[in-house]
Structure 1
């Protein structure tokens, strides 16, 4: 089987844009389709660590991401009153760049879209696939705009509710984990140089992370029995209720949660696929393959790592061998992040049988600082 020379990426989010950049850098003809004609992302903060910074640097956008966000010293665990229990400092540098970074989702999206468009990679918005026909030596694709194309490989990077995954594995669906996450952007207090996580409250945790010199985001992850839906006008009140009882900087930050329209609430759903994440010449990456909960702050990092590794392997090997090598390098690492994230959520909800969340977080941070 020959190497791939023409690849389609379905999904223009973090993983899809990253793999498009990686493939283009290695001389592979790539195009992207994205179903959202406006190509928008919601305005929340994300936490990224050493492995994410390293992977972005390999794509040539590490410096841009750092400039778009805020580098901080690492993670701290605090008690309910805001007293420091444990510090987990990041490595001082990764490939010359900071190892812990906060940035907004729109800022990261801007970095990646500008790189993709600057490289001249074709992106079609408001378009996705209608059908995929893998005929062994290529994949024939019919698009929703009526056009057609033939590709050596098709990559599904279309998120937790992946249509590509559904087409290949219709029974693989995200499952509610029992928790929801609340997010809100607030002013960053002068001198805050850590991402803090407050422990000590039943059924969940809360904290904050710097995003820019002026802004940080606060988050609350709590058990939400029955996967409730909340009226939009109640979201600020509901989030503040979950932040009651905390001291320290979090108590002050919670007073800024006033506009229900700016609260981002999501039920936590996970779908960790068994190996392999491909059938024939169609492969899924990122959340389409291994969506997890945000307890380790690794969702974006896992997608970008997938992208870097898949681009490397497709450039070096015939398609069958490349996909097998991709799985060999990625499966256990992504599974570790996914299962550990879900475990941390289970410990939140069932403290009577919980392990040590600080020790597990430290263990995973150290493991992920190793090269892919």
Structure 2
């Protein structure tokens, strides 16, 4: 009999929900606790590339996911004046009948994942986290913040960049670090030309447009914000316009339409990478809790989703749990480290205004690496 049957997931974001879906499909009993009492999501939209579309198929949610998303094939790279530099074709990794990439609103993605997890039998409790835990060779005893308790064969920390579980495992050894950049996002009606991911890149700035639906797209832009200063939310629209003032093309045409500060989503970039085993005993970190990175390669959520799939597969069988989790680490560590390091590198080159940096080459390399089997 398997050493693992009952699993606790801490955190109800993308990684936690995908883990719940994948584990339930393999027959594991899954409890999920989420600190938010109102299960809201932060942000505008998200780019999900070919490896993520492949994993959504393996999770068994592909059609529901595609119904909520905007499918596209290519990535277009432009200079800051809007002149095309390269068009990178996507790979249909989920199969020839399915798209290479999608853009999807974070709310739509959350709805797909949360409803799927619950329908599959995940026991979800909101407004709750863990207070403490003690583990022995056979399991983990957990006390929750409402005073209730539970015993599990495995606890999975999927609780994000500020992971409470990570702190319980490693103390203050791994703390989020501000990279010096922030990202700005804003929704627009979709322009007819934006039927692909359009990335504007150059030494003086970086921005992009991502289709989310037939009538919706979003703009993103990164900016250098040394020291992570506090910015007045009531001024976000003006500040975002200022950050993209040197970018032309369609970005420049749209700039003056950024008028509603309440609709600007501003987020400082913070990173953390656990540079050792992500598990101790029967407690494991996945997703941003283990390897939060920047959005420069559009793979942060993708790595969390892959973590979830690999975990569900490696937990099968009768061998010791330590062997299973070590195999998980062998499949995930270097892949996630590559994405983390290359994403941070892209941001560093932006801040250095490095005219020689080959962003197109890095994008092609990343797409090739992530197309490889997980």
TM over 0.5: yes
The answer to whether 1:337 aligns with 2:339 is yes
Q: Secondary structure at the match of 1:351?
A: coil
2:157 aligns to what? 156
1:183 aligns to what? 185
For residues 281 and 177 of structure 2, the distance between their equivalents in structure 1, rounded to whole angstroms, comes to 26
What aligned pairs does 1:337-356 form with structure 2 within 5 A after superposition?
337-352=339-354, 355-356=357-358
For residues 244 and 22 of structure 1, the distance between their equivalents in structure 2, rounded to whole angstroms, comes to 44
Distance of aligned partners of 1:354 and 1:147 in 2 relative to their CA distance in 1, 3 Å threshold: farther
Contact 1:5 1:28 in 2 (8 A): yes
The answer to whether 1:312 aligns with 2:348 is no
Q: Report the CA distance between 1:120 and its aligned residue.
A: 2.1
**Structure 1, unaligned runs of 5 or more:** none
1:279 aligns to what? 280
Contact 1:3 1:315 in 2 (8 A): no
Q: Tell me which moved more, 3-12 or 89-98.
A: 89-98
Q: Report the CA distance between 1:318 and its aligned residue.
A: 2.9
2:85 aligns to what? 85
Contact 1:63 1:97 in 2 (8 A): no
2:369 aligns to what? 367
1:270 aligns to what? 271
Q: Tell me which moved more, 264-273 or 309-318.
A: 309-318
For residues 243 and 362 of structure 1, the distance between their equivalents in structure 2, rounded to whole angstroms, comes to 25
1:18 aligns to what? 18
What aligned pairs does 1:205-244 form with structure 2 within 5 A after superposition?
205-244=206-245
For residues 5 and 22 of structure 2, the distance between their equivalents in structure 1, rounded to whole angstroms, comes to 13
The answer to whether 1:259 aligns with 2:284 is no
Contact 2:53 2:93 in 1 (8 A): no
- For residues 23-73 of structure 1, the C-alpha deviation after alignment (integer angstroms, 9 at most, x for no partner) is 111111111000101011024110010111111111111111111110112
For residues 150 and 280 of structure 2, the distance between their equivalents in structure 1, rounded to whole angstroms, comes to 19
1:328 aligns to what? 330
Distance of aligned partners of 1:311 and 1:84 in 2 relative to their CA distance in 1, 3 Å threshold: same
Contact 1:62 1:97 in 2 (8 A): no
Contact 1:52 1:301 in 2 (8 A): yes
What aligned pairs does 1:38-117 form with structure 2 within 5 A after superposition?
38-92=38-92, 94-95=94-95, 96-117=97-118
Q: Report the CA distance between 1:92 and its aligned residue.
A: 4.2
Q: Report the CA distance between 1:227 and its aligned residue.
A: 0.9
Q: Secondary structure at the match of 2:315?
A: helix
Contact 2:235 2:261 in 1 (8 A): yes
Q: Report the CA distance between 1:191 and its aligned residue.
A: 3.6
Q: Secondary structure at the match of 1:211?
A: strand
Contact 2:24 2:122 in 1 (8 A): yes
When the two chains are superposed, the root-mean-square deviation of aligned CA atoms in Å is 1.4
- For residues 138-197 of structure 1, the C-alpha deviation after alignment (integer angstroms, 9 at most, x for no partner) is 100000111100001000000111000011112211101110000111111124211111
If the length of structure 2 is used for normalisation, what is the TM-score? 0.96
Q: Secondary structure at the match of 1:145?
A: coil
**Structure 2, unaligned runs of 5 or more:** none
Q: Secondary structure at the match of 2:47?
A: strand
Distance of aligned partners of 1:274 and 1:87 in 2 relative to their CA distance in 1, 3 Å threshold: same
If the length of structure 1 is used for normalisation, what is the TM-score? 0.97
Distance of aligned partners of 1:80 and 1:355 in 2 relative to their CA distance in 1, 3 Å threshold: closer
Contact 2:24 2:121 in 1 (8 A): no
The number of equivalent residue pairs is: 371
Distance of aligned partners of 1:369 and 1:93 in 2 relative to their CA distance in 1, 3 Å threshold: closer
Contact 2:202 2:355 in 1 (8 A): no
For residues 324 and 125 of structure 1, the distance between their equivalents in structure 2, rounded to whole angstroms, comes to 31
